[in-house]
């Protein structure tokens, strides 16, 4: 009974873990041994799916790309971004101008977004329209730059 409040507080997290992580993981492992299709019930095929996977050139290409990304691109991007951060942190005459020019593209959309939201609210725009017509279009360059473009390399 001493730890009951603690268990009570972590119960939602445990339920979420079991429901959204463990169940899909176990289901995926089980379904990988079947000939499951969304249109019909699957039959147990054992290791046949894994055997055909080992002979698939696209699978090996994706493994190569993943390993390359993890071992080359991620460390290189960490090194370059850390180096750039160190350069922007040096005490050189005029560094404030470089910092401003570097960070300005990330700050302008935030200011523009808040101004446009305020103007839309004055015009009685609803939350859906503010999101769909202002927030989403302004966020798309950042989403494309952060998520899509690195995947193209």
92 phi-psi bin (left φ>0, alpha ψ -120 to 50, beta other): beta
Q: How far apart are CA 152 and CA 75, in angstroms?
A: 17
Which pLDDT does position 90 carry in this prediction?
A: 84
Query: What value does the mean pLDDT take over residues 48-74?
Result: 94
Q: Specify the pTM.
A: 0.52
111: phi then psi, degrees, rounded to nearest 5: -65, -45
Distance between CA 30 and CA 62 in Å, rounded? 23
112-141 pLDDT, tens digit per residue, is 677 777 788 887 778 888 878 877 887 777
Q: Bigger pLDDT: 103 or 24?
A: 24
138 burial level (CB within 10 Å; 0-12, 13-18, 19+): middle
pLDDT band at 38 (very low <50, low <70, confident <90, very high): confident
User: How confident is the model over 9-34, as a mean pLDDT?
Assistant: 92
Would you place residue 146 in the very low, low, confident or very high pLDDT band (cuts 50, 70, 90)? low
Q: What is the per-residue pLDDT for 59?
A: 94
Q: Is 114 helix (H, G, I), strand (E, B) or coil?
A: helix
Mean residue pLDDT of the chain comes to: 84
pLDDT for 106 beyond 90: no
Nearest partner of 32 among 45, 13, 16, judged by Cα:
45
Q: Is the pLDDT of residue 148 over 60?
A: no
| pLDDT confidence of residue 122 | 81
How far is it, in rounded angstroms, from Cα 71 to Cα 25? 26
């Amino acid at each position: 009974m001493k730890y009951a409040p603690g268990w009570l507080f972590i119960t939602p997290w445990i339920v979420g873990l079991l429901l959204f992580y463990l169940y899909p993981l176990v289901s995926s492992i089980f379904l990988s041994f079947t000939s499951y299709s969304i249109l019909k019930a699957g039959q147990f095929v054992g290791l046949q799916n894994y055997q055909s996977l080992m002979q698939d050139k696209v699978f090996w290409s994706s493994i190569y790309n993943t390993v390359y990304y993890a071992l080359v691109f991620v460390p290189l991007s960490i090194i370059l971004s850390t180096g750039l951060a160190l350069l922007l942190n040096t005490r050189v005459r005029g560094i404030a101008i470089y910092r401003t020019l570097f960070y300005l593209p990330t700050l302008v959309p935030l200011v523009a977004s808040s101004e446009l939201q305020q103007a839309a609210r004055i015009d009685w725009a609803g939350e859906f329209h503010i999101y769909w017509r202002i927030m989403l279009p302004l966020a798309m360059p950042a989403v494309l730059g952060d998520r899509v473009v690195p995947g193209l390399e």
